[in-house]
Amino acid sequence: MHANWPSGKAKKDQSMKDVESIINVISELRSFKNELNVSPGSFIDISINKIAKKNKTLMTNNEIILKKLGRINNFFDHDQQKPSATLVISGDIFKIYFDENVDLNLIKENLLKRQNKYQEEMDKISQRLSNKGFTDRAPKNIVEQEKTNYSNLKDDIKKISLTIESL
């Protein structure tokens, strides 16, 4: 195998930023489905009514790619009169309409259950951390780990609250 090491310089221009934006939208849509426990293969409809004009043009120009990789059936210019979830991507508000088979109430219920479970875990950690015997005697790294777990759970609960609000 004989080859020169790659060479060259590339300047970042708007076209590359556009590709990155498209990738970001698709990634966020996939993560959102995963968060809601919706099948990744299911198709959705999207309303782009409330997104910036510049980004609306970008979406329209790349409609084929977004529809294929983001598994989107329809783009709507106006909000629809049916149950939806709200997703914020880089400051733009997207309204997502799931397949009729997706039960948003069940998703909400599951998220609430998960939130309660995290809250219970958080309370236990909080009790341990307020116990002076534990904080004085336990190895420092264990105490630190407990503090990290506490803040992670707090972040998770906040995220779940935002998702529930969006439904």
Partner 1 sequence: MSKSKGNVIDPLDLIEKYSADALRFTLLSMASPGTDVKLSEDRVKGYRNFLNKLWNANNFLITNECDFNKTDRIPKTTLNINKWIYSELIQTKDKIEKNLKDYRFDEAAKNAYQFAWHSYCDWYIELSKTILFSDDEKSKKEVKEVSAYIFKQILVILHPFIPFVTEKIWLKNKFDKSDKNFPNACELAIR
Instruction: Extract long-range pairs of 150-155: CB within 8 Å, 24+ residues apart.
Output: 150/122, 150/125, 150/126, 153/118, 153/121, 153/122, 153/125, 154/122
Shortest approach of partner 1 to residue 26 CB, angstroms? 9
Shortest approach of partner 1 to residue 87 CB, angstroms? 20
Shortest approach of partner 1 to residue 61 CB, angstroms? 9
Contact status: 133 vs partner 1 (CB under 8 A): no
Contact status: 64 vs partner 1 (CB under 8 A): yes
Are the C-beta atoms of 71 and 42 separated by less than 8 Å?
yes
Contact status: 89 vs partner 1 (CB under 8 A): no
Give the residue from 54, 114, 63, 65 showing the smallest Cα distance to 90.
54
Contact residues: partner 1, CB under 8 A: 1-13, 15-16, 18-20, 22-23, 64-65, 68-69
